[in-house]
Amino acid sequence: MTSENGDLEETAEVDLDSILPIDEHEEIVSEDGKKVRRRGVYLLPNLFTLGALFAGFYAVIAGMSGQFNEAGWAIMIAGICDGLDGRIARLTNTQSAFGAQFDSLSDMVSFGVAPAIIMFSWAFAPLGQVGWAASFIYMSCAALRLARYNVQSGTVDKRFFVGLQSPVAAGLVAFVPWVGFRYGIEVTPVIAYLAAILTVFTGLLMISNYRYFSFKELNFKGTVPYMVFIFTVILLVVIAQNPHEMLLSMCVLYAFSGPVGWVYKKQKQVRAVQRSKLDEGRDPELQAHEPKAASKKMTRKAAKSKSAAGDPIDTEATDAEPASKKKKAKSRGLKLKVPRRKSRSAKAKDSKSVQESEKSPPVKTAKTSKEKKESTAPQETESTSGKKTDVHQETREAASTDNGHGADKEKQTATLDASEQNLNDASGEWHKDASR
């Protein structure tokens, strides 16, 4: 009996496997540098992904039934669930390859198929083939965008999305019927064609290379300023008052942020190229002196402040200014007269020469006394012959005094020449140091 029961159980298991051939999911992951086989799936993030898929499917049913208000709300709920599943997986460290692929398939239904059907049901039915062609272009672009995202997820910068992300594109397409249905807008051929152009343009934005900010760098664990929290509360209140208009406006602004940023970047690059061309056409000497203009102004201001305060001025910096002016004038073909400033050695030389001239005895007085004595000597010899010896004695004394004054004069000139030579040597050494 026991053997028969065992055979029955085995046959039951075989029959169950043939009816439901579902095996446990296994995934190979790396933990601490080692490859580990992990069985099962994470529940919490995949529940949000499943909720987004359900909302997208409900949006398709509501759009086909003409209930565009419910379809709009379903697309908004799908976008919220899609934004939460990835963040919850990162916060709880429950990321997996299964979750990434499941999320892409859910996005394809909720943000690729559902908006195309909603727009077709609202405005494209009168257009015929043009309508379904526009819807198919949008859906195909959504699939291409999701496939490219899966391939480039580990190589591109996480701060930006390459191309418009599918949830915003779905909002831009599906919220137009949502707002139009609320205000009772009648669909005319003009509105139908404009809606078709909008749908195709949104699909092309998804496969473009425009960069959009991803908001993945926002740290929800850390603290934020108090005003940021207040602004968030105000934004939620405004959205709650007019959800249809506000959500559509936010999607439009975010969709156009990519092309606007691209145009600004291109203009910046063109300006940089134009500046480089202008710099290449300029004189190299002027181009070399332009960056030093600010430093020269600072040295001049510093020199003025030091002179006002009575501090010694650095003559090397001030003497370098006339040289730069000469070079600029020479490059422009002009003649610039730069006043020369006296150096310290020249000023010291002038002051010493004035002091020595004041100290030296008057030479002119000795010459006048000699002339007087020479003029009076013949008169005295003619008047009396007895006084000849006295006259000769006086002339000898005068000659001796003149010789003394001449020796003093020669000493003075020698000292002046020596001082001038010393000053010249000192000035030459100073100019060498300044040139170095």
What average pLDDT does the segment 70-93 reach?
91
* pLDDT per position as a tens digit, 145-168: 999 988 887 777 778 888 899 999
Q: How confident is the model at residue 380 (pLDDT cuts 50, 70, 90)?
A: very low
Residue with tokens 């030389």: 349
- Could you tell me what percent of the chain has a pLDDT over 70? 55
Q: Is a pLDDT exceeding 70 seen at residue 85?
A: yes
pLDDT at 105: 93
Tokens at residue 20, please? Answer: 């439901």
CA distance linking residue 181 with residue 192, whole number of Å: 14
Q: What's residue 158's pLDDT? A: 77
Q: In sequence order, which residues have a C-beta less than 8 Å from that of residue 77 and are 6 or more positions away?
A: 51, 52, 55
Summarize the confidence of residues 340-360 as an average pLDDT: 59
Q: What pLDDT is attached to residue 70?
A: 94
Share of the chain above pLDDT 90, in %: 32
Q: Which of 31-35, 237-241, 367-371 has the lowest mean pLDDT?
A: 367-371
User: What would the 3-class secondary structure string for the chain be?
Assistant: CHHHHHHHHHHHHHHHHHHCCCCCCEEEEEECCEEEEEECCCHHHHHHHHHHHHHHHHHHHHHHCCCHHHHHHHHHHHHHHHHHHHHHHHHCCCCCHHHHHHHHHHHHHHHHHHHHHHHHHHHHHHHCHHHHHHHHHHHHHHHHHHHHHHHHCCCCCCCEEECCCHHHHHHHHHHHHHHHHHHCCCCCHHHHHHHHHHHHHHHHHHCCCCEEECCCCCCCCCCCCHHHHHHHHHHHHHHHHCHHHHHHHHHHHHHHHHHHHHHHHHHHHHHHHHHHHHHHHCCHHHHHHHHHHHHHHHHHHHHHHHHHHCCCCCHHHHHHHHHHHHHHHHHHCCCCCCCCCCCHHHHHHHHHHHHHHHHCCCHHHHHHHHHHHHHHHHHHHHHCCCCHHHHHHHHHHHHHHHHHHHHHHHHHHHHHHHHHHHHHHHHHHHHHHHHC
pLDDT computed for residue 51 by the predictor: 95
Give the pLDDT confidence of 247-266 residue by residue, as tens digits: 999 999 999 999 999 999 88
pLDDT digit string (tens) for 105-135?
Answer: 999 999 999 999 999 999 998 898 899 999 9
Task: Reply yes or no on domain 29-274 having CATH 1.20.1630.10.
Answer: no
More confident residue, 252 or 13: 252
Pick from 52-56, 107-111, 115-119, 323-327: least confident: 323-327
Q: What is the mean pLDDT of residues 4-30?
A: 58
Q: Calculate mean pLDDT across residues 165-175.
A: 94
Encode pLDDT of 191-213 as tens digits.
999 999 999 999 999 999 999 98
295 compared with 196, residue with greater pLDDT: 196
Which of 125-160 are b and which e, b meaning 16 or more Cβ less than 10 Å from the residue's Cβ?
eebeeebeebbebbbebbbebbeebeeeeeeeeeee
Domain boundaries, the chain: 29-274, 362-436
Per-residue pLDDT, 323: 52
Grade residue 91 by pLDDT with cuts at 50, 70 and 90: confident
Going by pLDDT thresholds of 50, 70 and 90, the confidence category of residue 15 is: low
pTM: 0.59
Give the number of other Cβ atoms within 10 Å of residue 313's Cβ.
Answer: 13
- The pLDDT, as a whole number, for residue 273 is 86
Rounded CA-CA distance 174/59 in Å is 10
Between CA 15 and CA 35 the distance in angstroms is 35
Q: How far is CA 211 from the centre of its chain?
A: 18
Q: What is the pLDDT of residue 432?
A: 59
β partners of residue 211: 162
- The rounded mean pLDDT for the chain is 74
**pLDDT at residue 66 above 80?**
yes
The per-residue pLDDT for 256 is 92
b/e burial code for range 361-381 (CB count within 10 A of at least 16 → b): eeeeebeeeeeebeeeeeeee
Lowest-pLDDT range, 31-45, 174-188, 324-338?
324-338
* Averaged pLDDT, 61-68: 93
Distance CA(345)–CA(263), nearest Å, equals: 63
> Does the pLDDT of residue 292 top 70, yes or no?
no
Higher pLDDT, 198 or 284: 198
